[in-house]
Structure 1
Amino acid sequence: MNATIAAITFRAMLGRRRALLLLALPFLLLALAVGLRAADVADLDVSVGVLQRFGLATLLPLLALIAGTGVIGPEIDDGQIMYVLTKPIPRRVIVFTKLAVAIVLVTAFAVLPTLLAGLVLTGATAQVAVAFTVGVLAGGVAYTSLFVALAVLSRNAVTIGLLYALVWEALLGSVAPGARSASVQQWAMSVTDALTDASVVTSTVRLPVALGLLAAVAVVGCVLAVGRLRTLPVAGAE
């Protein structure tokens, strides 16, 4: 971790425009949860559906995409990353710092709102709120590592990330069992399923497999991002 890089990245990510993007989706999730509870229609099936389809399947990947690509992608696009690369800072430290900032943002704007929404909808019933919170956190680390790597590897990271989240996971995942199982969403859902007794929470992937795949995505994402930064020839950089 590098405190200076982290502070600059937080300042850039929490600017007015990006802050509005980060706040919009969690606000909608919390507003929906409060509305359903106020209307007294938030039974367990409805509550799990909201937490899974809105929290885990929509809010999480989009927030991770905004945070993961935003912490480093714009700096690469406009060339400002070169000012960092010319400093005597190891490339792995740059990547880990950017990744840590992105994970903190995902925790603040996706994980915590999921916990609050879960508590509003289900209270302590079957530990559903806690289960989804842990699942979203596990999936958030994997998503964020993936999107940070994409931001370093490609200038079209946002487009590629949207195609993955919306086409592969959402569209193909709804009709093709193979695509559904090969997704961060289902691996995170497996973690959620393991932490609650609610029968409406189900996953298509066994927990040991899901944990291994989540860890693999996180590690591979870091390795690819560090490797790509090391290929950028900048005088004075490691």
Structure 2
Amino acid sequence: MASCRESSWTAPSKCTGWRARTTASRPSSGIWWGDAVGLVEGARKDGVLFALTVRYLLSTRRGIATAGLAAVPLVVAGALALGRVETYDIRLFQTLMVPLSLQVVLIFVTLVNATALLREEIEDQTLPYLLMRPITKPTLAVVKYLGYLVAVLVLLIPPIVLAYVVTQGYEGSSIGADADVLAAFLTTTVLGSAAYGAFFGFLSVLVRKPLAVGLLFGFVWESIVGSIPGDVPLLSIIHYLRSILKGMIAEGPLTEYATDVSAPTAAIVLIALSIGLLILTAAVFQQMEFRQKA
């Protein structure tokens, strides 16, 4: 600095150049701060949308109805225990939960909630109000999907856990005696919710009546595909869920299920399917045009 001050009497251009280089070499803290504030503000708005989605799916009449349906496994387990059914044990629990929980409750709860995420906004012409905020369509689709996933798991997981506890208590077994059964059903519930939700969410931006198409897929195709020979079952979600149950449970009714897919492979397929369908949903949703409601 001293040399610069001394030379300023004789070589001002040299000092000016030194100052310019020093200023240019410093990172712009203002730009970095602005980017950080923008990221925080964007995350806050995404969090608000996420919370609103969860609250909407859980607090409306739809949420109350699906909560009642999700409680059916617990009601059945409680009824069998109170009725003192002698044959009721962990094996009968599995026999009941596979068709009841996976093929009815899981499909219906995910179908009703996932198809409502974007389709209701589209039909009611309320999406333009959401998109007036600084949020992109793909971000909107992803955040709503994550909100859906949390909401349906809140509905589906507690009844399964409680039904398992009731079964173990009725048998006189410890809670951890058949932990593999509980872990398998929780795993299939989480992965099934993700996969079915992504599929039904994709239907909601692809067709005008996603609920009708979803009913055909969930309760017709998923029900009959297991009886079709060859590799056709690989085109269904329920096949991979059953493969996970077979691979994770040491002994149960699904040990004889015909599948060449291991539990880890089935889990990877369902995760990849969920991500792929979510990307497709965001891409299709991005190309859609909306009119503001008059």
CA separation in 1, counterparts of 2:212 and 2:81? 36
How many residues align? The count is 234
Matched, 1:120 2:153: no
Q: How does 1:1-238 map to 2 (within 5 A)?
A: 2-38=46-82, 39-40=84-85, 41-122=87-168, 123-127=175-179, 128-170=181-223, 172-177=224-229, 178-202=231-255, 203=257, 204=259, 205-233=261-289
Cα distance between partner residues in 2 of 1:218 and 1:16: 26
The two structures, once aligned, show a CA RMSD in angstroms of: 2.1
Distance apart, 1:208 and its partner CA: 4.1
Runs of 4+ in 1 over 4 A off after TM superposition: none
Moved more, 178-187 or 61-70: 178-187
CA contact (8 A) 2:94 2:252 kept: no
TM-score by length of 2: 0.73
Q: What are the Cα deviations for residues 3-36 of structure 1, in whole angstroms up to 9, with x where unaligned?
A: 2222332343234411222212122221101111
1:124-180 Cα offsets, whole Å, 9 max, x none, are 34321222111211111111111111112222111111111111011x235314444
8 Å contact kept, 1:85–1:91? yes
Q: Which moved more, 1:65-74 or 1:180-189?
A: 180-189
Distance 1:138 1:224 in 2: 18
- Counterpart CA distance in 2 for 1:154 and 1:77 is 12
Instruction: Tell me which residue corresponds to 2:17.
Output: none
User: Are the equivalent residues in 2 in contact too, given 1:85–1:234 (CA < 8 A)?
Assistant: no
Name the amino acid aligned to 2:136: P
Query: Partners of 1:222 and 1:110 in 2: how far apart?
Result: 21
Higher relative contact order, structure no. (Cα contacts within 8 Å, ≥ 6 residues apart): 1
Unaligned runs of 5+ in 1: none
Q: Match for residue 37 of structure 2? A: none
Unaligned residue ranges in structure 2 (runs of 5+): 1-42, 169-174
Q: Hey, what's the Cα distance between the residues in 2 that align with 1:67 and 1:79?
A: 19
Letter in 2 for 1:32: V
Q: What TM-score do the two structures reach when normalised by structure 1?
A: 0.88
Which one has the largest radius of gyration? 2
Contact 1:169 1:179 in 2 (8 A): no
Shift of 1:225: 1.1
**Larger mean Cα displacement after TM superposition, 226-235 or 28-37:** 226-235
1:179–1:111 Cα change, 3 Å: farther
Deviation (angstroms), 1:64: 0.8
Taking the aligned partners of 1:10 and 1:138, their CA distance within structure 2 comes to 18
Contact 1:119 1:129 in 2 (8 A): no
